Amino acid sequence: MLRKIFFLLLFFISICFSSSADVVHLKNGNKMESIILEDKPDEIIMQLNIGTVVFNHNQIEKVERWSEEENQSLEERWLREREERKKEIEEIKSTRPAKTQITEKTEEIQEKKVKKKKVKYVIEPVVTRPPRRKKISSNYMDYEDLLNKTTLMKLKRNPDQTYYIYLPKKYSPSKEWPLFIGIHGLMADGKQAMDLWKGFADKEGFILVCPNLPDGYPLLRNNADKQMIDIIEEVRKNFRIDKEKVFMTGFSGGAQFLSRFVFKRRNVVRAASIISGRWFDLSIITSSVKTDFLVTVGANDKARISDSRKLAERLKDKKYDVKFKISPGAGHWVCDEAKELTIELFREMKSQKVNHR
């Protein structure tokens, strides 16, 4: 409900400003479709599908102006993409889970046991064979159908709660794997977080989980922290996870969620990357959790720079290992530098180089 209200507010703001849709070309080679809310002498305020961003004129190469009809078409497309995403989730909820390969193999073995074995009588003396080794049974989920693809799962305890999971190509329950959790922004969902981090899973060697969290999740409302714990427990039950190597990153509203989750659910997350967050509750930060932190924010994300700096300083005061970085030229998005620093922190955690308290 809160997401719908927030989207409607953005829609009416765009009407009040008589905004126009444009393609903005940045000097760093990137370009984006946006709705310009205000063009000031020194900066441009734009509306993207993920939120409002600000750019200085010296960062912009050129702007291709669009018509009012194209503006309307862009807004309709943003709305349509959200609706398609919701429809995808509802379709998954309404379908029954397919029979797993492990069930099919079990039934096949049972059928063979029912059939009588044919005994061949021979004159030669019977040669005693050594007993066959019993196969080691596994309690983990049959994983072969999940390898190297994004899968939408329903939480067993609460089927209305869903999450995306990606198993790397080389996953096997013969060893423990790190768990990498990506938390989406306020106007996004788990699929967008999945698309952001999936490219690193095979190379870096981790299982990736991206939940679809409920309204109010940045403030841990609607039991968002409990649902996250339930998802982690379910993934540990189905796949072989190293509980000492749980990594979590969150962007925007996800960053706010992560800053609260770490201190409410103590010692679940071993390392945390907080990207472009705001409105952190500094009063809950104590020195009693075993977590290392990365705090990053874009140099053009002016509304969040101060809050991010205060969070990093508070964490340092409490003797945490904290890396704080303001990325030049970046606005309110996950820039390349933020990605690189996040993966670097994950590697440190994976190799047990993080600071143990």
Q: Which residues contact 265 (CB under 8 A, 6 or more apart)?
A: 225, 228, 229
- Residue 137 has what pLDDT? 40
Domain identity same for 166 and 299 = yes
Q: Are residues 216 and 330 in the same domain?
A: yes
Is 80 exceeded by the pLDDT of residue 147? yes
Residue 246 lies in a domain: yes
Adjacent-strand bridge partners of 325: 296
Total structural domains in the chain?
2
What's the CATH code of the domain at 263?
Answer: 3.40.50.1820
- Is 80 exceeded by the pLDDT of residue 256? yes
Q: What is the largest CA-CA distance in the chain?
A: 102
Structure confidence by residue, pLDDT tens digits, 295-330: 999 999 999 999 999 999 999 999 999 999 999 999
Q: How confident is the model at residue 15 (pLDDT cuts 50, 70, 90)?
A: very low
158 and 230 Cβ atoms separated by less than 8 Å: yes
pLDDT band at 26 (very low <50, low <70, confident <90, very high): confident
| 166: Cα within 13 Å, side-chain hemisphere | 24
- Euclidean distance between CA atoms 101 and 117, whole angstroms: 25
- CATH number of the domain residue 37 falls in: 2.30.30.100
User: Percent of the chain at pLDDT above 90?
Assistant: 56
How many Cα atoms sit within 13 Å of 90 on the Cβ side?
Answer: 6
Q: No. of H helices and E strands in the chain?
A: 8, 13
What's the confidence (pLDDT) of residue 112? 57
Picking from 17, 345, 70, 328, the residue whose alpha carbon sits closest to that of residue 180 is 345
Instruction: Please give the average per-residue pLDDT across 262-291, as a whole number.
Output: 94
Q: How would DSSP label each residue in 244-267? A: EEEEEEEETHHHHHHHHHHHHSTT
90-99: pLDDT as tens digits: 776 676 555 4
Mean pLDDT of 191-219: 96
pLDDT in the model for residue 114: 47
Asked whether residue 31 falls in the same domain as residue 153, the answer is no
**Position 128 in a domain:** no
Q: What is the mean pLDDT of residues 146-153?
A: 94
Percent of the chain with pLDDT over 70: 77
Token pair 């590697």: residue: 347
Sequence-ordered strand ranges (E) for the chain: 20-26, 31-39, 43-48, 51-56, 60-65, 150-154, 162-166, 177-183, 207-211, 241-251, 271-275, 292-298, 322-327
Helix (H, G, I), strand (E, B) or coil at 227: helix
Query: What's the confidence (pLDDT) of residue 269?
Result: 97
Same domain, 161 and 83: no
Mean pLDDT of the region 36-40: 77
The confidence score (pLDDT) of residue 132 equals: 52
Domain assignment of residue 66, yes or no: yes
Are 173 and 276 members of one domain? yes
Q: What is the pLDDT of residue 50?
A: 63
Query: Which of 87, 117, 152 is at the close of a domain?
Result: 87
Q: How does DSSP classify residue 321?
A: -
d(CA 52, CA 45): 7
- Domain coverage including residue 57: 2-87
Contacts of 322 (CB under 8 A, 6+ apart): 292, 293, 294, 295, 312, 315, 316
56-65, 126-135, 196-205, 221-230: range with lowest mean pLDDT? 126-135
| Phi and psi, residue 135, nearest 5° | -70, 140
Question: Would you say residue 83 lies in a domain?
Answer: yes
Q: Which helix (H) or strand (E) holds 147?
A: none
- pLDDT at site 105: 56
Q: What is residue 38's predicted lDDT score, i.e. its pLDDT?
A: 77
CB 354 within 8 A of CB 271: yes
In a domain? residue 119: no
Q: Is residue 58, in this structure, part of any structural domain at all? A: yes
Per the domain annotation, does 127 fall within a domain?
no
Nearest-angstrom CA–CA distance, 184 and 56: 26
Task: Give the amino acid at 240.
Answer: R
**Co-location of 231 and 341 in the same domain:** yes
250, 258 Cβ separation under 8 angstroms: yes
